[in-house]
Amino acid sequence: MPVLSGRRMVEMGVVEGLRSVEEQVQPAGVDLTLERIEVLVEEGEISVEPRFSKGLNILPNKGFYELPQGGYRVTYHEIVNIPAGYLGLLLPRSSLLRNGAIIYTAVWDPGYRGRGMGLMVVFNRQGIRIAEEARVAQLILLSMEGSSELYRGRFMFENMSVSERPGVY
One-letter-per-residue 3-state SS of the chain: CCECCHHHHHHCCCEECCCCHHHHEECCEEEEEEEEEEEECCCCECCCCCECCCEEECCCECCEEEECCEEEEEEECCEEECCCCEEEEEEECHHHHHCCEEEECCCECCCCEECCEEEEEECCCCCEEEECCCEEEEEEEEECCCCCCCCCCCCCCCCCCHHHCCCCC
Mean pLDDT of the chain: 91
Check whether 168 has a pLDDT greater than 80.
Answer: no
The reply to whether 154 falls in a domain is: no
Check whether 134 has a pLDDT greater than 60.
Answer: yes
Check whether 25 has a pLDDT greater than 60.
Answer: yes
What are 72-123's pLDDT values in tens digits? 999 999 999 999 999 999 999 999 999 999 999 999 999 999 999 999 999 9
The reply to whether 163 falls in a domain is: no
More confident residue, 21 or 157: 21
The reply to whether 169 falls in a domain is: no
The reply to whether 126 falls in a domain is: yes
The reply to whether 70 falls in a domain is: yes
The reply to whether 22 falls in a domain is: yes
Minimal CA–CA distance to 108: which of 37, 43, 32, 36?
A: 32
Distance CA 83, CA 169 (A): 7
Domains held by the chain: number:
1
How does residue 151 score in pLDDT terms, banded at 50, 70 and 90?
A: confident
Q: Which domain holds residue 62?
A: 6-41+52-144
The reply to whether 117 falls in a domain is: yes
Q: Could you tell me the pTM of the whole model?
A: 0.90
CATH number of the structural domain spanning residue 106: 2.70.40.10
The reply to whether 167 falls in a domain is: no
